[in-house]
C-alpha cells in the first residue's frame, strides 16, 4: 500500500514539474504577451502547482493557439488546456431525406 502511495506521489511530482517547465518555456518565448503578463504568469505557475500551470497554458492557448504544440500535452490534460473538443458539422444544413426524382 505504501509503495502505491509513493508511486502516485512521484507521478504527481513529475506532472507538476513537467507542466511548470512547459508553461515557463512557453511564457518565455511567446511574443504576444506583454511585459506585465510575462512577469505575473510565472508566479501563478510556480505558486499553484498543477492548476496554475494548466490555467496559464489554457489562457495562452486561447490567445494564441499555435504556441502550444498538441503533442506536448499528455492525454489526461488535453481537455483541461484545449477545452472541450469542437463538434463537427454543427452548422451543416439539414440533410434531405427521401429518394431521388419524382419522390
Question: Mind listing the pLDDT tens digit for each residue in 26-82?
Answer: 888 888 888 998 899 999 888 887 788 888 888 888 887 777 776 777 666 776 677
CA-based nearest residue to 61, from 43, 45, 73, 50: 73
Give residue 36's domain range.
Answer: 2-82
Q: Is residue 60 part of a domain?
A: yes
Q: Is residue 27 part of a domain?
A: yes
Q: Is residue 99 part of a domain?
A: no
Q: Is residue 98 part of a domain?
A: no
> Quick one: cell of 9?
506521489
What's the predicted TM-score (pTM) here? 0.65
Share of the chain residues as helix, strand and coil, in percent rounded to the nearest 5: 70, 0, 30
Confidence of residue 102 (pLDDT cuts 50, 70, 90): low
Amino acid at each position: 500500500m505504501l509503495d502505491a502511495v509513493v508511486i502516485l506521489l512521484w507521478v504527481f511530482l513529475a506532472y507538476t514539474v513537467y507542466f511548470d517547465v512547459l508553461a515557463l518555456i512557453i511564457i518565455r518565448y511567446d511574443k504576444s504577451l506583454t511585459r506585465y503578463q510575462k512577469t505575473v504568469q510565472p508566479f501563478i505557475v510556480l505558486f499553484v502547482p498543477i492548476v496554475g500551470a494548466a490555467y496559464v497554458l489554457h489562457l495562452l492557448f486561447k490567445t494564441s493557439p499555435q504556441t502550444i504544440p498538441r503533442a506536448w500535452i499528455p492525454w489526461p490534460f488535453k481537455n483541461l488546456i484545449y477545452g472541450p473538443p469542437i463538434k463537427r458539422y454543427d452548422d451543416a444544413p439539414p440533410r434531405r431525406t427521401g429518394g431521388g426524382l419524382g419522390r
